[in-house]
Structure 1
């Protein structure tokens, strides 16, 4: 049956996961606090989609592979695909997606995408592996798109910040017509810290192509913090739904390897910024971990 829910848990954290998109549905600590956005469609129905085989949009929603066009919706097809639960223990599970007639029609490759969730104490690690099972080089992009509640539990009315572990001030990139704009804009970070305000998202996502480092903290001033670490995910985006009344009550912390197509580009998948190309039987791994207040 489609959209089966799997639950993993330990004494600190409980996570519910859906086979549709291998997407996390809930993230709750033992004290009953919920940290993941609950997907209210009045704002945004997503919760934590997995982005493959591309991140962001393509020109006219059409990618090209060696010049041949294929229809491809924003963020690829994995988030709308039914995964198989390949392994499950009380505190871990692994989902798998392989090529099908539906995927071959828009992405002509044989592949294996596995997504594994693992709890260790108050830390959740989400790891993905992409394997090329085709006889030809396979271009792709990959990203995570988890959304967390804003304000954080118990922190109503408090300022919230994102602080990069490396203390950097990475240049800002913006989308134009849904595609990556050419300008490097001044960083909104000051000594590694950004104080969040919904006005920052009036021009859509804030994208940091390079320099955001391998971890950050999302925190309330006098309240809880979520600490993140990233593996093989050089790009970072922060996003919430702009222009809603009231303001959308979530923040997406999105580590990527790959971005939307560049404005004015051909749409060739291999030429998108930070795209990867796997040879036959090669694999790439990507992961993020979030440490929750115990």
Structure 2
């Protein structure tokens, strides 16, 4: 059975499950909950880690060096039991090692470490991938945290996502979970996107490039969350229409493209990690103090 680790300081309290190293709760010192609760009416996820792919493969089949491997959307890490590798009052690190079961669908020796840590009102979630094999290892890595919409204390207020670079990144639409070949005009205006449920009627908003390394998600005249991204060039925003959450998803790697290569190494923004090498990906989110 999964176990839960709690880390806390004077500002934040975070619960992390051993199943998928997935956050279960984020509360501030006033008792407010900021993370989606996983209500199955809409979506059972809360903050899954996506590995070794982000998004979907055609027919849920991934090709590695020409050989097919069954792979569900967003990979297998979110469904695996992790081991607690380190813990303190304000930090916990979970790890997932390759096994015979993972090698059957992803034939590489890896170590995936997920660390949650607190510094004042700021939470950092970091992933480190180590290639323990003798050949280059392709993979995608992404984060999928779901925050309440409306945010605590902001019911009835318009909410928006504001890019720190004031950019207007073009969207790459999804078709049955795969990326279309074309791009559509940006829904951002001078870096700002006012949120409404109808934006998500045709699945997530995916921005392969141009969203920058920081953004704010907040309510007009109300609370806001400040994000920063490390080695995560792709951004998606997602909810199910009518659901009271917004997923702010920084990725390094995307779904396969319609009509594109079925090989993992050829998927957009795939990382190909040399034997013995490591790669780190992280985001921070700062809560109202």
For the 8 Å contact 1:137–1:278, the answer to whether it is kept is yes
| Residue 262, structure 1, aligned to residue 261, structure 2 | no
Distance in structure 1 (CA, Å) of the matches to 2:133 and 2:282: 23
| Residue 191, structure 1, aligned to residue 190, structure 2 | yes
User: What's 1:291 paired with?
Assistant: 286
Matches within 5 A, 1:107-122: 107-122=106-121
- What's the TM-score, normalizing by structure 2? 0.99
1:241, distance to aligned residue in structure 2 (A): 1.2
Deviations 1:17-59 (CA, angstroms, capped at 9, x unpaired): 0000000000000001110001000010000000000000000
Matches within 5 A, 1:212-227: 212-227=211-226
SS in 1 for 2:44: coil
SS in 2 for 1:102: helix
Specify every segment of 5 or more residues in structure 2 that has no aligned partner in the other structure, as ranges: none
User: What's 2:60 paired with?
Assistant: 61
Matches within 5 A, 1:38-77: 38-77=37-76
For the 8 Å contact 1:130–1:283, the answer to whether it is kept is yes
SS in 2 for 1:85: strand
SS in 2 for 1:153: coil
Distance in structure 1 (CA, Å) of the matches to 2:120 and 2:176: 42
For the 8 Å contact 2:205–2:236, the answer to whether it is kept is yes
- Following TM superposition, the consecutive aligned residue runs of length 4 or more in structure 1 with deviations greater than 6 angstroms are none
After superposition, the CA RMSD in angstroms is 0.6
- What's the TM-score, normalizing by structure 1? 0.98
User: What's 1:276 paired with?
Assistant: 271
Deviations 1:57-108 (CA, angstroms, capped at 9, x unpaired): 0000000000000000000000000000000000001000000111011000
Specify every segment of 5 or more residues in structure 1 that has no aligned partner in the other structure, as ranges: none
Distance in structure 2 (CA, Å) of the matches to 1:264 and 1:88: 45
| Residue 84, structure 1, aligned to residue 79, structure 2 | no
Matches within 5 A, 1:1-294: 2-242=1-241, 247-294=242-289
For the 8 Å contact 2:261–2:267, the answer to whether it is kept is no
1:121, distance to aligned residue in structure 2 (A): 0.2
For the 8 Å contact 2:82–2:95, the answer to whether it is kept is yes
SS in 2 for 1:27: strand
Distance in structure 2 (CA, Å) of the matches to 1:135 and 1:285: 20
Distance in structure 1 (CA, Å) of the matches to 2:2 and 2:73: 21
1:222, distance to aligned residue in structure 2 (A): 1.4
Deviations 1:226-253 (CA, angstroms, capped at 9, x unpaired): 00000000000000013xxxx1000000
